[in-house]
Amino acid sequence: MALNGWRVGLLAAAAVVAFSPDISRADESGISFWLPGLYGSLAATPATPGWSVAAIYYHTSVSASGAAAASREFQVGRFSPTVNIDLNLALRGQADLMFIAPTYTFATPVLGGQLSATLASVYGRNSASLAGTLTVAAGPIVTTRNGFLEDALTSYGDLYPTLRLKWNDGVHNYMVYGAGDIPVGDYNPNRLANIGIGHGAIDFGGGYTYLNPATGTEFSAVGGFTYNFKNPDTQYQSGIDFHLDWGASKFLSKQVFVGLVGYAYQQITDDFGQPAVLGGFRSRVLGVGPQIGYIFPIGSNQAFLGLKGYGEFDAANRPSGWNTWLTFSISEAAPVSTVMPTKHIVRK
């Protein structure tokens, strides 16, 4: 007895809901508030009071694939055929984003440290595609369906306020920070590609930088936790995330340093809002790569041009691939004791 088209459709829907494969998206839509790699070398070193601005070009290319298979017995009239369901999905995504981050650093100490405030925004292009094959076999009847979805968006994203408080003690530098997501970016739950993430978030953490003026060596690490609020459009709430960014560098001259960067990202509590059978979708990804930085004067100010890249691995419930960061910033001339070794100072 042949299965009618609507029965096949019901089985396909059941397969998608009940047997979602490993590309299921932790951190709703596979996108987290925290962008791994945001911090790096010299993260906790104090700056000169006043205004500064950074422009960051970020490119990422990621992919994920997964498969699921299940066997179920369905009652169809007087017959009870065993229905085998196979689902294969492949996801690809690419983003080119420009972040603009003006910062004001206060001259008056707060709790013995240096307070700064940043409000960052983002504009750019995000594209995504999803290809899938669904095969349903009921006895001798085999039905295969292929599908392909593609979407692209060039628009603006959310706003990201951040407060930082830094302390310096010789070669040791310390930082605490609080950041958030104001969800005003271009977001539509029915799109495959978005710039905004559709929900608010708060993030708290701290960092440390070791900077030795005598040897020109530096190491920085910044860790934190993200709490995600519920998405009002989807009623989905991503779990709490832990992230650690690090960078190590060596100054080769008074203007140039090279080194390595890396990050670890791990979701530590379950998502909420999806059917319970799908599980908690805790995501994970690691990344590591090279970096190079160039510090130079512009008039009475100081400029920085840096390039770093990450190759991702050991990902779970999250697309992975590679990404690059190109940063250009202008600020007041940095303090002599916090930029590089004394013999390598960039002076006004």
Which has more confidence, 34 or 132?
Answer: 34
Question: What is the percent of the chain where pLDDT is above 70?
Answer: 78
What tokens appear for 291 in the block? 């970096």
pLDDT score of 71: 57
Cα distances from 53 to residues 126, 184, 341, in angstroms, run 24, 22, 24
Say which residues have a Cβ less than 8 Å from residue 278's Cβ, sequence separation at least 6: 20, 24
75-97: b (≥16 Cβ within 10 Å) or e: eeeeeebebebbbbbbbbbbbeb
Could you tell me where the beta strands, DSSP code E, fall in 10-140?
50-73, 82-105, 114-138
Cα separation, 88 vs 103, in Å, equals 46
Express each pLDDT in 268-293 by its tens digit.
998 887 654 445 678 899 999 999 99
Q: Which of 262, 294, 258, 306 has the alpha carbon at shortest distance from 55?
A: 306
Determine contact, residues 28/198, Cβ cutoff 8 Å. yes
**Lowest-pLDDT range, 62-76, 187-201, 245-259?**
62-76
pLDDT score of 277: 44
Determine contact, residues 60/323, Cβ cutoff 8 Å. yes
- Tell me the domain boundaries of the chain: 5-344
What is the band of 13 on the pLDDT scale with cuts at 50, 70, 90? very low
Instruction: Please determine, for residue 72, whether its predicted confidence score (pLDDT) is greater than 80.
Output: no
Give me the chain's average pLDDT, please. 82
Cα distances from 118 to residues 54, 97, 178, in angstroms, run 10, 18, 11
Q: How many residues does the chain have?
A: 348
Express each pLDDT in 293-303 by its tens digit.
999 999 889 99
Instruction: Please determine, for residue 177, whether its predicted confidence score (pLDDT) is greater than 60.
Output: yes
